[in-house]
A and B are shown apart, each in its own frame.
Chain A
Amino acid sequence: MTVAVVQFGGSNCDRDTVRALGALGVEAELVWHEDGLPDDADGVVIPGGFSYGDYLRAGAMAARSPVMAEVRAAADRGTPVLGICNGAQIGCEASLTPGAFTTNESARFQCEHVHLRVENADTPWTRRYKEGEVLEFPIAHGEGRYEVADDRLAALAEDDRILFRYCDADGAVTPEANPNGSKHSVAGATGDRGNHVAVLMPHPERVTLADVASTDGADLLRAFED
């Protein structure tokens, strides 16, 4: 399994992601977007950062770059694809996942640890967690507020495609525990092509190495071992 971590101009969590995956024993490599996806890519991560300076909207430019057509084709073939933070914004802009991540309710960039409740433990990304388990992940974004039409949100919930919701330390989903005003407190969701495609705003790769912080995110990235 080689995981391609796609670098755009302005990506800045690309190396962290490769290192975190490497620490888990998952082979991963940086792939410059202009070079295209390698043929042997068995997984794809669209990492965090500020691709193209967040021009127009966060993720808008990268989503329309040629490599994303390759990522969509790979997703169509069943290749696992994970978008983290800016990668989540790109994933939504590229129609890998429904909805959009837009300006935080606070209108500020927020860099803090948050709690996430595992909503569905029956996906490749969450199967190592328990439903209802509370994780601590960091967020670092200015445009992380999840927006989606009410009927699409209802369908997402109905189809069990919400991975994580922001919650308090006890797992209660409350307005106070919602850091950015995300609709329904959604922090991550799976794609229209199936649960092998997912996006989330919090950073699992920043809570994977034991010498950095907690390791709550490691079990999510271990999906690439499967």
Chain B
Amino acid sequence: MTAFTATVEVRLKRGVLDPEAETTARALERLGFELEELRSADRFEVDIDAESADAARERATEMAERLLANPTIHDYEVGVEERRA
């Protein structure tokens, strides 16, 4: 078994309204920053022991499918890295 950290980034699909991001962008503008657009995402880091990076990726992908993301509104990306003690 190898120790991995899988990262699952969950973000709203393009075209789905993100009122929290819009509010955050407006707050940044009030602080004097110039910006065109702001998107936010949730990032989950999951420590997994697995036989291979592919196995870790598969497990993290299933986590995204079954809980971390809602397919109606979200897209997600999974990354896997070996975890050093």
Contacts and interface: CB of A to CB of B under 8 A. Distances in A.
A104 B22 CA distance: 12
Interface residues of A, number: 20
A145 B12 CA distance: 14
A128 interface: no
Interface stretch (A16-24, A56-64, A112-120, A154-162): A56-64
Given A107-B22, A107-B23, A57 B17 contact: no
Interface stretch (A95-103, A169-177, A185-193, A202-210): A95-103
B85 interface: no
Nearest to A60: B67
Interface in B5-28: 16-20, 22-23
A131 interface: no
Nearest to A63: B67
A27 interface: no
Contacts of B17: 105, 145, 181
Contacts of B68: 56
A86 B73 CA distance: 18
A221 B30 CA distance: 47
Residue among B17, B18, B20 facing the most chain A CB atoms (10 A cut-off)? B17
B70 A93 contact: yes
Contacts of B19: 103-107, 181
Interface residues of B, number: 13
A191 to B, nearest CB: 14
A92 B18 CA distance: 19
Contacts of A225: none
Interface string A113-137: 0000000000000000000000000
A140 interface: no
A149 B72 contact: yes
A74 interface: no
A102 B67 contact: no
> When A and B form their complex, which 3 residue pairs have the shortest distance between CB atoms, in order from nearest?
A107-B19, A100-B72, A107-B23
22 contacts: A56-B67, A56-B68, A57-B70, A60-B67, A60-B70, A64-B66, A64-B67, A92-B72, A99-B72, A100-B70, A100-B72, A102-B16, A102-B73, A103-B19, A103-B20, A106-B19, A107-B20, A107-B23, A147-B72, A147-B73, A181-B17, A181-B19
Interface of B: 16-20, 22-23, 66-68, 70, 72-73
